[in-house]
Chains A and B, each alone.
Chain A
C-alpha cells in the first residue's frame, strides 16, 4: 500500500496571502493524483485531478503541480472560504490511499 504524507499538518495564513501545501507518495504514482478540500461538517470536494487539472467549477487561484512522488497544491490568494482541510490522494496503485490532511487556518 502506498503511504501518502502531507506537510505541514497545519498552515496558518492571512487572507490574501499565498498558501503552498505539499504531499509525498512512498512510491511513484506518476500523475494519478488528486487534491480534495473538506470543510467542517461537509463532504470532501474534488479540487485537482491528474496532479494539475482543476475540477469543474474550481477557481483559478487553485493550482496543482508535480509528478512521481512529490506534489504541490498552491492557493494563490486565500479567500475566507478557502480555510479548510486539504487531502491528497493517489489512485495509481490500488487500494487508493489518502494523505492525513493539511489544515489551513486563519493567521
Chain B
C-alpha cells in the first residue's frame, strides 16, 4: 500500500527556517506529481505547493511564494518543503499528498506533521 511519512515539524520562531520531508514508499515515486497541503488548527485544507514528477516544474500559493521552496529527490523517494521567513500564520499541520497528474485529485496523503510558529 502507498505510504507517505512526513517529518521535520516542531516549534519554530517567527522569521526562522525549517525543512519538512516526506518519505514515500510502495509506489513509483518518480512517476507522480507531489503536493503539500496545510491545515491550520481547527481550520480547513489549503493547498501550498506542487512539484511535477521530475522536479522541473513547481507552483506555490501566493501566501508562501518567495518564502517556501518545494523539491524532490527521486533517488531517495523523498519530497521536501524548505520553509523560510516563517510567520505565525504558517502554523498548521502540513500534509504531503500525490496526484497521478498535475491537476488531479489527491489520492494518497501522509499523516501530517505539525509546524508551530510562535515566539
Contact = CB atoms under 8 A, between A and B. Distances in A.
B61 A89 contact: no
A8 interface: no
B47 A43 contact: no
Interface residue SS majority, chain B: loop
Interface in A35-52: 36, 42-46, 49-50
Given A43-B112, A87-B45, A100-B44, A94 B59 contact: yes
Contacts of A87: 44-45
B99 to A, nearest CB: 8
Interface in A13-44: 32, 34, 36, 42-44
B44 A101 contact: yes
Q: How large is the interface on B (under 10, 10 to 19, 20 to 34, 35 or more residues)?
A: 10 to 19
Contact of A55 (B47, B107, B111): B107
Contact of A91 (B104, B110, B111, B112): B104
Interface in A51-107: 55-56, 87, 89, 91-92, 94-101
Interface residues of A, number: 24
Contacts of A98: 44-47
A99 B44 contact: yes
A97 B62 CA distance: 13
B109 interface: yes
A44 B47 CA distance: 13
Interface string B103-118: 1111111111000000
Contacts of A97: 47
B29 interface: no
The 7 A-B pairs with the shortest beta carbon distances in the complex, nearest first, are: A49-B105, A43-B109, A34-B105, A98-B45, A96-B47, A91-B103, A100-B44
Interface of A: 32, 34, 36, 42-46, 49-50, 55-56, 87, 89, 91-92, 94-101
16 contacts: A32-B103, A36-B106, A44-B45, A44-B95, A45-B109, A46-B107, A49-B104, A49-B107, A55-B107, A56-B107, A89-B105, A91-B103, A91-B105, A95-B59, A96-B103, A98-B46
